[in-house]
Amino acid sequence: MGKTFKLLAIGVVAVTLSLEGISWLLRCLRDGRGRPVKEVLFFPTTVTCINHLFLPGPCSCSLPHGDSTPFTRLLRHLLSARSSLDLCIFAFSSQELCRVVLELHRQHGVSVRVVTDKDYMMISGSQIGALRKAGISVRHELGGFHMHHKFAVVDKKLLITGSLNWTHQAVQGNKENVLVTEDSGFVRPFLQEFEKLWDANDPARSPTLSDFIML
């Protein structure tokens, strides 16, 4: 009897692993690639045109075209979102990255949630107001310390994390790094951290005037 249960348990595990493998294979085929994403990006980056990521056809601007840079690769990873984007970011003033998030929300129907820092969302040039005005769900740190994370999870399976704030200075000036991975051992804890922060910073838990600021 014990042997039968062991065989059944092994069979269940094998089926589970097989289903996960099939799911991963189908995802890879859908995305046009044959292996999980695993990439490290270093900044600063050179300035190139990014219009081709959004619009078909040639662009007549004066910036270099067609170059693959750490920034364009970062944008492509974000634009790969099909269902959800969970973003936890300390400083967000990059208009290019805001354009990506708005594109996902408006044009692709991606569910976007943002957790940010209550002080830095108020600085001049912050893009948080533009996200809120577009109807994107944004929550900010309600405690007395900074929300200093810089990570995004795409479709609950692709992690983008590192030292990079989403600012012009960070992208084009600072020495920064970004890790992009589909390793579930890394993705899962970040998903859990996001959900913890999302729940902890629900305005309904602390209904003060500042919690309902609409930039």
**Catalytic annotation present for 183:** no
Active site residue 38: no
Long-range contacts of 121-125 (CB under 8 A, 24+ apart): 121/92, 121/215, 122/215, 123/91, 123/93, 125/93
- Listed in sequence order, the residues at least 6 apart from 103 whose beta carbon sits closer than 8 Å to its beta carbon are 54, 79
Gyration radius (Cα) of the chain, Å: 20
- From the list 155, 168, 183, 211, the catalytic residue is 155
Active-site residue (options: 77, 118, 140, 150): 150
Q: Select which of 146, 148, 196, 199 is catalytic.
A: 148
Catalytic site residues? 148, 150, 155
